[in-house]
Amino acid sequence: MTDLIKIVIAGPRGRMGQEAVKLVEETENFQLVAVIDHKNNGRKLADIFPTTQSQVKVYTDIEDCFQNEQADVLIDLTTPETGYLHTKTALLHGVRPVVGTTGFTQDELTELKNLAEEKELGCIIAPNFAIGAILMMKFSQMAAKYFPDVEIMEMHHDQKLDAPSGTAVKTAEMIKENRLSHQQGHEDEKETIGGARGADYDGMRIHSVRLPGLVAHQQVLFGAEGQTLTIRHDSYNRASFMSGVKVSVETIMSLDTLVYGLEHILV
């Protein structure tokens, strides 16, 4: 029998948070002890999720939560600024963060890594929890060795706060490890409408599409003489991310550092 893992979820009423509450409640050795619901006005979790069976506490503030609850893991699915503060607060309280929230700066990631190492605590920051998305990133990294001309096109629902997506940034970082660094396109190219060529990451371009009806999609387009290669992943619902959240919670208890990207923990 595996040990019970006590979990706090931040952002339980969000699109991802709702799926995470379901996952934790349905998983035998996971126990949801509390949620951080910053706009809560005294409602119990059962008022938000009528099916919930557990006696889950609702907090509006993370400090207050960790001062009152014994938790092993924080699952954060909020916003970039809040996610960073929550992750830091969790580590300071000895709680291991599993973070799906995207939009952290490089400085924030470095600071959190240093803190996790100082505290000898596991911390997983995964820009994408879907196994298919991890494979898309890895295949793109492999292809970049042979196709150094590449453009990333990510497409998301129009309620998304950060652009480019965390997945697109991670994909670009992974591609950079294998790609001959150079500026793409014609050296004299000129944008007649600003932004037409997308964001520039080490000379490759990232394009962010936002439309109602979309969930989370990305294609990585490689071009070479007489040929193109397209690697594409689509998430059609948020349940697609939950197996990655589950494996992260299970793995984090045996980590003592920060891991950025699910590809590092999938075997």
Ligand X SMILES: O=C(O)C1=N[C@H](C(=O)O)C[C@H](O)C1
Q: Which residues are annotated as a binding site for NAD(+)?
A: 11-16, 100-102, 126-129
- 160 noted as active-site residue: yes
First to last CA, the chain: 22
The answer to whether residue 176 is catalytic is no
* Contact flag: residue 167 with ligand X (CB under 6 A): yes
23 binds ligand NDP (CB under 6 A): no
129 contacts ligand NDP (rule: CB under 6 A)? yes
Residues between 2 and 21 that touch ligand NDP (CB under 6 A):
10-11, 13-17
Sign of CA dihedral 266, 98, 238, 44: positive
Q: Would you count residue 207 as binding ligand X (CB under 6 A)?
A: no
Q: Is 179 in the site for ligand X (CB under 6 A)?
A: no
Q: Do 60 and 37 contact (CB within 8 A), yes or no?
A: yes
| Interaction between residue 156 and ligand X (CB under 6 A) | yes
**Sheet containing strand 30-36, strands side by side:** 57-59, 30-36, 5-10, 73-76, 96-99, 123-125, 258-260
Name which of 102, 122, 89, 94 is nearest 251 in CA terms.
122
How many residues make up the chain in this entry?
Answer: 267
Question: Nearest distance from residue 163's CB to ligand X, in Å?
Answer: 9
Cβ proximity of 85 and 59 under 8 Å:
no
Total residues binding ligand NDP (CB under 6 A): 24
233 part of the interface to ligand X, by CB under 6 A: no
Q: Is 244 helix (H, G, I), strand (E, B) or coil?
A: helix
Buried b (16+ CB within 10 A) or exposed e, 91-119: bebebbbbbbbbbbeeebeeebbebbeeb
Contacts (CB under 6 A) with ligand NDP, residues 213-252? 241
- Pattern of binders to ligand NDP over 81-110, x per CB under 6 A? -x-----------------xxxx-------
The residue whose two tokens read 């910053």 is 38
Residues that bind ligand NDP (CB under 6 A): 10-11, 13-17, 36, 38-39, 77-79, 82, 100-103, 126-129, 166, 241
Residues that bind ligand X (CB under 6 A): 102, 127-128, 156, 160, 162, 165-167, 216
State the catalytic residues: 156, 160
